[in-house]
């Protein structure tokens, strides 16, 4: 469990590519610069997709981890 | 990526999923995506054609199962619904090839409103494909 406090949470559990990235884009538009989005995913593709999406889009991946097939990302909006 | 051009020639429910999923990914991220539907695939730009897409050939018997898996993945299970979702990103344009439209019975009357029109292949190749940062063929 992370100590990071997210401003918003997106749960994409059970969904697969392209939906986690599609929904992450939508969720990120709803928060302000500097705020943090917590993303929950079960698609292993997100392990590569979310970090590279952060690099391309100017957001910061603060922390990620996985446990029992559940992947968690904390992304600060740039 | 700023722009992506995709030429779709294969129809069939399963064969349309990949180009539409790629377009959805990039459209959601803000990439300008232009798709040209040629050959049999142009029929997917009619409501009847989009809704009538099925899995053909050796995997035909698994059509229902694939649709369930697609819905589980979070995508609409119907091709027309996927097209509408892509259009809602405001970054994805659908074009019907004029030659394919003529051969396969697509016209301004049955073209779905989500499509930007029936266009010449030369226009698409020069104005969209050649100017896009990346181009794909399915």
Tell me how many domains chain B contains: 1
CA distance A53 to chain B (A): 9
Q: Which domain holds residue B39?
A: 3-137
Q: Is A54 a catalytic residue?
A: no
Residue in chain B nearest A42 by alpha carbon = B73
Per-residue pLDDT, A1:
63
CATH class, A8-76 region: alpha beta
Instruction: Give the H or E element holding residue B73.
Output: helix B63-73
CB contact under 8 A, A18 and B72: no
Beta strand A36-41 pairing with B92-97: unpaired
Which positions in chain A touch B75 (Cβ < 8 Å)? 18-19
Domain ranges of chain A: 8-76
Per-residue pLDDT, B87:
97
Which positions in chain B touch A21 (Cβ < 8 Å)? 25, 28-29
CATH code of the domain in which B20 resides: 3.40.1260.10
Per-residue pLDDT, A51:
96
Q: What ipTM was assigned to the predicted interfaces of this complex? A: 0.79
DSSP character at residue A39? E
A51 token code pair: 């970090």
Identify the three-state secondary structure at position A15: coil
Residue in chain A nearest B28 by alpha carbon = A22
Cβ(B100)–Cβ(B94) under 8 Å?
Answer: no
Identify the three-state secondary structure at position B66: helix
Q: What is the separation of C-alpha B13 from the centre of its chain, rounded to a whole number of angstroms? A: 11
Beta strand A60-67 pairing with A70-76: antiparallel
* Of B41, B11, B9, B7, residue with least CA distance to B23: B7
- CB nearest to A16's CB, from B22, B29, B74: B74
Asked if B60 is an interface residue toward chain A (Cβ–Cβ < 8 A), one would say no
Cα dihedral B59, B62, B64, B66 sign: negative
Half-sphere exposure of A38 (CA within 13 A, CB side): 15
Q: Quote the CA–CA distance of B68 and B64 in Å, as a whole number.
A: 6
Of chain B, the percentage scoring pLDDT greater than 90 comes to 99
Angle at alpha carbon of residue B82, lines to B80 and B87, rounded to 5°: 95
pLDDT 10s digits, B61-104: 999 999 999 999 999 989 999 999 999 999 999 999 999 999 99
């Amino acid at each position: 469990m992370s100590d990071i406090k997210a401003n918003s949470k997106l749960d994409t559990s059970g969904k697969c590519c392209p939906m986690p990235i599609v929904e992450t884009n939508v969720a990120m538009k709803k928060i302000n610069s500097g705020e943090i989005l917590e993303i929950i995913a079960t698609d292993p593709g997100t392990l590569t997709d979310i970090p590279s999406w952060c690099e391309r889009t100017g957001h910061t991946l603060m922390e990620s981890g996985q446990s029992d097939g559940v992947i968690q990302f904390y992304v600060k909006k740039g | 990526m700023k722009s992506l051009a995709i030429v779709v020639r294969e129809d069939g429910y399963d064969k349309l999923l990949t180009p539409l999923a790629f377009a959805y990914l990039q459209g959601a991220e803000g990439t300008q995506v232009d798709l040209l539907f040629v050959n049999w695939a142009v029929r997917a730009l009619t409501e009847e054609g989009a809704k009538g897409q099925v899995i053909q050939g050796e995997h035909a018997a698994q059509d229902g199962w694939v649709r369930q898996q697609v819905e589980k993945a979070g995508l609409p299970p119907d091709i027309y619904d996927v097209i509408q979702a892509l259009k809602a990103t405001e970054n994805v344009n659908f074009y019907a090839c004029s030659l394919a439209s003529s051969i396969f019975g697509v016209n301004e009357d049955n073209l779905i409103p989500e499509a930007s029109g029936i266009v010449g292949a030369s226009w698409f190749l020069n104005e969209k494909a050649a100017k896009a940062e990346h181009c794909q063929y399915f």
